[in-house]
Every structure is written in structure tokens, then in C-alpha cells.
């Protein structure tokens, strides 16, 4: 295990149960220690957050009362998670290290009052709130930052935020180390990165094919039926430990949630239209496994770690194809197995071709008698010019019948979740 020059970091890693660095950490940390700009493309769950936090803390000078690192994230939830990880490290230091969070939903007057009395050593926030405090108010003095990190860059640098990030970069000192992290770096972002990063080292760390992440990818054709009818049959066929049902819009998520509540399911709704403080409370309850179903938009698809998600259900396939990987990456984490079930239509064939080219091992299913059974692949169905009779179908069903839920899987999830929670509890002591 690598030893850092600041001993409190080594204590923090020991307390957090780190035994060895991940592949992305092994490759990224030396580059940031050498103060070089970097672009990192790596899978969700690969340890990107600690890859930039550790070298930041190792170069930090608590005696300097100024911003030494600025970290941008696209959502409040992800910024809050980064802040939590950073706070876990900072508390091991003998000297006070101020790690402050700046996101919407926080009392603005309180933030300004705090900034009037001191600067944080590490500032973490969303582009909008950082722009407000650093550019409009000139209250957060970010021009002293030695590190500028953009996490989940394809979201942080989308059309809504790119102007704000550009304005922030205009204030950052020229010799500030700039690091961009994302699961994917779209082609449209490359001109922006060439403009602001100085001879960046590019690191592409995808140690596993996306299809090998302990996730089974099931696709069920709606056959032009009502999606609620198909979703209802899915819910009858599975018994999830914790399932996330993803929808593309707030309106769609609310409709699905209302339907789930009418059915009497133990469900909760999470989307960007819900007040941040309320979302924060809900996330705590979700992590405490108080619900069996979470109906959500893509606010939960990126970088948010919830222990014990057994199933992902794509009520609607995400419009951005890359988000399929981000959504399904919420399950199959650590030592858990996961199942991703997606509803699709005939019009989605091009979409599915793309996923299969990306390495997704798609398994096509259908539901009969409250069981999820193998179906013909969509392409073989397209070519078929004959119809099976009912006896043929029953005979084949007997051979290929297999339930999604394996016997004892909930017991295994309980044991694994308990083990992970015990480890986390030890870290906090």
C-alpha cells in the first residue's frame, strides 16, 4: 500500500479499510503529485473520487487560510458524497482542515457569513452555486486554488453548465493543476478540454468489460402493451432486496410512483424537483433500506453509492445511451450480484445494437405465469416466418424455465450488506 507523506492520510486510509489502491488510483495519483493536468476516463465505482482527494490532501497546507482545491460536481447529491469522503480524511488530521460544501438549497446568507470569516481549504460544489459565490459575489476566493477538479465531466460540462465552468476557469490561476474525471468523455467536450488543459495526460482505465460487472442485463419487449402492465408483471416475478425504477422525466417518475403507491408497494420517489433537504433525508432512509423500491430520474444514475441495490428496472430506456451504463452501474457493486431489467419496443432496435457493441451481454426475456423466462433474441424473432403452437411453447418453457430470484439470494444480500455496514461503522469510530 502506498504511503503518503502526510501521516494523517495513512491513518485515514487504514481507518477506512483501504488495503490497496485501485487501478485508477495507482495511475492518477502520481500524475497529480507531479502537478500535471489530466483527463481520466474510468468506470463508475473505480475509485475516482479518492484518486483526486488523496493527492490534494497530501499537498495541502493547513496553515494557509485560503482555497487550495476546488472540486465541481454536476449534482448536489454527488457533491455531498464527495464532501463526505473528504471529511472522512480531514478528520484524521491533527490540524484543522476546512472542507466546505457549496450547493443550492443551503442558506445563502449563512454561507456568505461563513466566507466572510474564513476560506475553506477545499471547496466542493455545483457549478451554479460556485459561480454565484466566486464570480457574482466574489466571496469565495477561488483564484488561489492549486487544484481544480471537474467530476463527472460529461454532465458538469453539458450545455447548461459549460458557460459557468468557463467563467470559473477564467478566475483560476494559470498554474493550477486541472483534472477532469468521467466515465465517458464525449467528442463534443474535447475542444473545451484542449482550450483549458495544458498538455494533459490522458488515462483510460476500464479494467472490466461493462458486461462483466456482476450484472445480468435482461430486456423485455413491451409488444406495444401499456408499460404499466409489463411493469406489473415484472414486479410479480421478482422479489428485490432493493430496486431502483428509472424514468426519463420527473412527470413520468411521479406517475410511476403514484401507481406503485396505489398498489401498496413500499416505494419512495427521488427526482430533481424535490427540495434538496428533503432529498438528503430520503437518501439517508434509502441507505438505511427503509424501502423496497426507489422510483427515480437520472439524478441517482451517477456516482451515488447505495449499498444493496439488487435490481435496476428501466421503465424507459435513457435517451442518452451512455446513461444505460451509469444507471445499471448502481447494482452489481462490491461483491453483490445485480439484475438490470429494461423495457424496450421495436423502435429501440438501433439503441440495443449500440449497447451490444459496447459490450452489454443482452439476454432477451418474456414473462409468463409470474416468471421471467428466456425469449428468442429480437433479431431471430424479426427473421422468423413461422409461429410456434402452444404445445411447442409449453415444452420449451419447461426446459428453459429460470427465475430471476435465486433461492437464498436475499439472505446473501442481508449478510453482505451487514458486513459492509459493519466495516463502515468501524471506519467512523
In b/e form, how buried is each residue of 110-148, taking b as 16+ CB within 10 angstroms?
ebeeebeeebbbbbbbbbebbbbbbeeeebbbbebbbbb
* Domain final residue pick, 154, 181, 205: 205
For 270-321, what is each residue's pLDDT tens digit? 988 888 788 888 988 998 899 999 999 988 776 567 888 999 999 999 988 8
Residue in 239, 241, 238, 221 with CA at minimum distance from that of residue 230? 221
What the block records as the C-alpha cell of 332 is 452489481
pLDDT of residue 372: 92
The torsion angle over the Cα atoms of residues 249, 252, 258 and 263, rounded to 10 degrees, is -120
Give residues with Cβ within 8 angstroms of 11, minimum separation 6.
92
Number of Cα atoms under 13 Å in the Cβ half of residue 142 = 31
How many structural domains does the chain have?
A: 2
Q: Are 26 and 139 contained in the same domain?
A: yes
pLDDT of residue 111: 95
How many CB atoms lie under 10 A from the CB of residue 240?
25
Q: Which parts of the chain have pLDDT scores under 50?
A: 207-209, 212, 381-388, 391-392, 394-402, 427-429
Q: Is residue 294 part of a domain?
A: yes
Q: Are 362 and 414 contained in the same domain?
A: yes
Cα separation, 145 vs 68, whole angstroms: 4
Give residues with Cβ within 8 angstroms of 248, minimum separation 6.
297, 298, 316, 318, 319
For 363-383, what is each residue's pLDDT tens digit? 999 999 999 999 876 765 444
What the block records as the C-alpha cell of 236 is 410479480
* Domain final residue pick, 153, 172, 205: 205
pLDDT of residue 322: 75
Helix (H) or strand (E) holding 296: strand 293-296
Q: Are 254 and 296 contained in the same domain?
A: yes
Contact 373, 399 (CB under 8 A): no
**Residues β-bridged to residue 71:** 124, 149
Cα separation, 46 vs 44, whole angstroms: 6
Q: What is the CATH number of the domain that holds 356?
A: 3.40.50.300
Contact 267, 287 (CB under 8 A): no
Adjacency order of strands within the sheet including 69-72: 99-102, 122-125, 69-72, 147-150, 177-182, 38-42, 201-205
Q: Are 214 and 152 contained in the same domain?
A: no
The torsion angle over the Cα atoms of residues 269, 273, 279 and 282, rounded to 10 degrees, is -10
Q: Is residue 1 part of a domain?
A: no
Residue in 78, 123, 93 with CA at minimum distance from that of residue 306? 78
Q: Are 322 and 377 contained in the same domain?
A: yes
Q: Are 342 and 403 contained in the same domain?
A: yes
Q: Are 128 and 221 contained in the same domain?
A: no
Helix (H) or strand (E) holding 203: strand 201-205
Q: Is residue 269 part of a domain?
A: yes
Alpha-helical runs (H) found in 288-329: 322-328
Q: Are 335 and 250 contained in the same domain?
A: yes
Cα separation, 201 vs 31, whole angstroms: 8
Q: DSSP string covering 23-43, please?
A: HHHHHHHHHHHTT--EEEEE-
* Domain final residue pick, 172, 205, 238: 205
Helix (H) or strand (E) holding 366: strand 362-368
Write the DSSP symbol of residue 342.
Answer: E
Q: Is residue 2 part of a domain?
A: no
Q: Are 189 and 215 contained in the same domain?
A: no
pLDDT of residue 102: 97
Structural domain boundaries, residue 265: 210-425
pLDDT of residue 155: 83
**Residues β-bridged to residue 40:** 181, 203
Cα separation, 22 vs 8, whole angstroms: 20
Q: What's the predicted TM-score (pTM) here?
A: 0.70
Write the DSSP symbol of residue 348.
Answer: G
- Label the pairing between strands 371-374 and 362-368: antiparallel
What's the full length of the chain, in residues?
Answer: 429
Amino acid at each position: 500500500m502506498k504511503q503518503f507523506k502526510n501521516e494523517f492520510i495513512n491513518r485515514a486510509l487504514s481507518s477506512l479499510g483501504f488495503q490497496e489502491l485501485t487501478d485508477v488510483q495507482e495511475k492518477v495519483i502520481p500524475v497529480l503529485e507531479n502537478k500535471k493536468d489530466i483527463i481520466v476516463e474510468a468506470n463508475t465505482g473505480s475509485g475516482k473520487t479518492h484518486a483526486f482527494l488523496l493527492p490534494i490532501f497530501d499537498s495541502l497546507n493547513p496553515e494557509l487560510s485560503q482555497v487550495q482545491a476546488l472540486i465541481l460536481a454536476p449534482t448536489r447529491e454527488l457533491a455531498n458524497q464527495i464532501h463526505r469522503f473528504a471529511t472522512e480524511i480531514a478528520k484524521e488530521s491533527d490540524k484543522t482542515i476546512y472542507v466546505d460544501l457549496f450547493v443550492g438549497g443551503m442558506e445563502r446568507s449563512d454561507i456568505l457569513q461563513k466566507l466572510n470569516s474564513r476560506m475553506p481549504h477545499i471547496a466542493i460544489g455545483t457549478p451554479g452555486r460556485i459561480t454565484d459565490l466566486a464570480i457574482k459575489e466574489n466571496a469565495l476566493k477561488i483564484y488561489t486554488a492549486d487544484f481544480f477538479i471537474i467530476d463527472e465531466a460529461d454532465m458538469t460540462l453539458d450545455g447548461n453548465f459549460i458557460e459557468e465552468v468557463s467563467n470559473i476557469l477564467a478566475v483560476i490561476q494559470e498554474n493550477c493543476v486541472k483534472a477532469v474525471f468521467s466515465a465517458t468523455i464525449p467528442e463534443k467536450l474535447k475542444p473545451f478540454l484542449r482550450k483549458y488543459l495544458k498538455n494533459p495526460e490522458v488515462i483510460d482505465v476500464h479494467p472490466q468489460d461493462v458486461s462483466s460487472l456482476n450484472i445480468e442485463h435482461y430486456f423485455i419487449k413491451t409488444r406495444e402493451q401499456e408499460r404499466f402492465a409489463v411493469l406489473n408483471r415484472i414486479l410479480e416475478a421478482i422479489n428485490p432486496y432493493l430496486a431502483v425504477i428509472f424514468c426519463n422525466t420527473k412527470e413520468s417518475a411521479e406517475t410511476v410512483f403514484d401507481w406503485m403507491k396505489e398498489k401498496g408497494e413500499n416505494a419512495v420517489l427521488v427526482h430533481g424537483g424535490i427540495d434538496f433537504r428533503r432529498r438528503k433525508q430520503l437518501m439517508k432512509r434509502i441507505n438505511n433500506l427503509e424501502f423496497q423500491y426507489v422510483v427515480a430520474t437520472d439524478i441517482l444514475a451517477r456516482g451515488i453509492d447505495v449499498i444493496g441495490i439488487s435490481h435496476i428496472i428501466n421503465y424507459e430506456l435513457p435517451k442518452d445511451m451512455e446513461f444505460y451504463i451509469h444507471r445499471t452501474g448502481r447494482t452489481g457493486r462490491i461483491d453483490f450480484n445485480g439484475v438490470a431489467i429494461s423495457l424496450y419496443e421495436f423502435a429501440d432496435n438501433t439503441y440495443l445494437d449500440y449497447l451490444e457493441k459496447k459490450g452489454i451481454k443482452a439476454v432477451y426475456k418474456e414473462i409468463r405465469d409470474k416468471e421471467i423466462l428466456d425469449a428468442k433474441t429480437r433479431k431471430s424473432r424479426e427473421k422468423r416466418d413461422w409461429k410456434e403452437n402452444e404445445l411447442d411453447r409449453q415444452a420449451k418453457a419447461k426446459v428453459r424455465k429460470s427465475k430471476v430470484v435465486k433461492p437464498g439470494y436475499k439472505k446473501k444480500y442481508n449478510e453482505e450488506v451487514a458486513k459492509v455496514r459493519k466495516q463502515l461503522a468501524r471506519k467512523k469510530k
